[in-house]
Amino acid sequence: MTNPAVFAQPASAGGAAPIIQARGLVKTFGQTQALRGIDLDIDRGEVVAIMGPSGSGKSTLLHALAGVIVPDAGTVTVDSRVISVLREPERAALRLRKFGFVFQFGQLLPDLTALDNVTIPLLLAGRKRADAIRQSSAWLDRLGLAGEARQLPGELSGGQAQRVAIARALVMKPMVLFADEPTGSLDSLAAENVLTAMLDLVREEGTTVVMITHDPRTAAYADREVIVRDGQLSAAHAPQTLTSATP
């Protein structure tokens, strides 16, 4: 079912405008060409897995799509707005309002309880504390962490800590969730549990997900896999049954 495509489009190409549209992305760090011209469309509600060898440019691509960095050339359009021309304060505001982030390590503030970690984005956004606590508790609950709300990150297992980080990323109901090897630090059983919990929620919420992973089993949960090699997309294909209906 591999469908090599230099110009990577969503499985449902031809429908509504993509939520993320990247064109000609180039990014160089010193002598290193991290991105060498990447075109990528991502549909609303799509779960896309980015795979590829270490150092191939996956994180740089994710950062460019999320407006964390600005490409040297090319454009990123999010929800019909070109974000790659914005200055950092505007991009920061956009990230806070529209995106959620989950990384591999060290995301939780160690001196705050699980619950307090999740309330942070809500409080930063100006929500009332009681309201923030109520919503955060509900998200911890949905991630199976009702009993862990008062624990400190150091008292949690790796999988529990990642689920707290996911709750914190989803509590703002982001338009797009960006995850860079979200289960990379976990053993395979914990990884699978965390991943299925995360994907159940994003599918319920209709959240678009861009997720970097090394694990083919993880990628199999996505609607589509995109493979980055040496700063370019080498192939894109739709895993599993979701998008491979054509014989």
Q: What is the smallest separation between the CB atom of 1 and ligand ADP, expressed in angstroms?
A: 24
Verify binding: residue 232, Mg ion, rule CB under 5 A.
no
Q: Give the C-alpha separation, 214 to 232, whole Å.
A: 17
Our CB check for ligand ADP shows the closer of 62 and 161 to be 62
Our CB check for ligand ADP shows the closer of 54 and 241 to be 54
CA dist 80 to 5, 22, 98, Å? Answer: 23, 11, 13
Our CB check for Mg ion shows the closer of 34 and 114 to be 34
* Binding partner of 2, given ligand ADP, Mg ion, none, CB within 5-8 angstroms per partner class: none
Q: Which stretches of the chain bind ligand ADP, using CB under 6 A?
A: 29, 32, 34, 52, 54-60
* Binding partner of 57, given Mg ion, ligand ADP, none, CB within 5-8 angstroms per partner class: ligand ADP
Q: What is the smallest separation between the CB atom of 197 and ligand ADP, expressed in angstroms?
A: 24
* Binding partner of 29, given Mg ion, ligand ADP, none, CB within 5-8 angstroms per partner class: ligand ADP
Our CB check for ligand ADP shows the closer of 9 and 59 to be 59
Our CB check for ligand ADP shows the closer of 92 and 125 to be 92
Q: What is the smallest separation between the CB atom of 104 and Mg ion, expressed in angstroms?
A: 9
Q: What is the smallest separation between the CB atom of 180 and Mg ion, expressed in angstroms?
A: 6
* Binding partner of 9, given Mg ion, ligand ADP, none, CB within 5-8 angstroms per partner class: none
State the distance between the two ends of the chain, measured CA to CA, in whole angstroms. Answer: 9
Q: Interface mask (CB under 5 A) for Mg ion, residues 25-64, using x and -? A: ---------------------------------xx-----
* Binding partner of 98, given Mg ion, ligand ADP, none, CB within 5-8 angstroms per partner class: none
Q: Give the C-alpha separation, 189 to 156, whole Å.
A: 16
Our CB check for ligand ADP shows the closer of 51 and 115 to be 51
SS (H, E, C) the chain: CECCCCCECCCCCCCCCCCEEEEEEEEEECCEEEEEEEEEEECCCCEEEEECCCCCCHHHHHHHHCCCCCCCEEEEEECCEECCCCCHHHHHHHHHHHEEEECCCCCCCCCCCHHHHHHHHHHHCCCCHHHHHHHHHHHHHHCCCHHHCCCCHHHCCHHHHHHHHHHHHHCCCCCEEEEECCCCCCCHHHHHHHHHHHHHHHHHHCCEEEEECCCHHHHCCCCEEEEEECCEEEEEECCCCCCCCCC
* Binding partner of 55, given ligand ADP, Mg ion, none, CB within 5-8 angstroms per partner class: ligand ADP
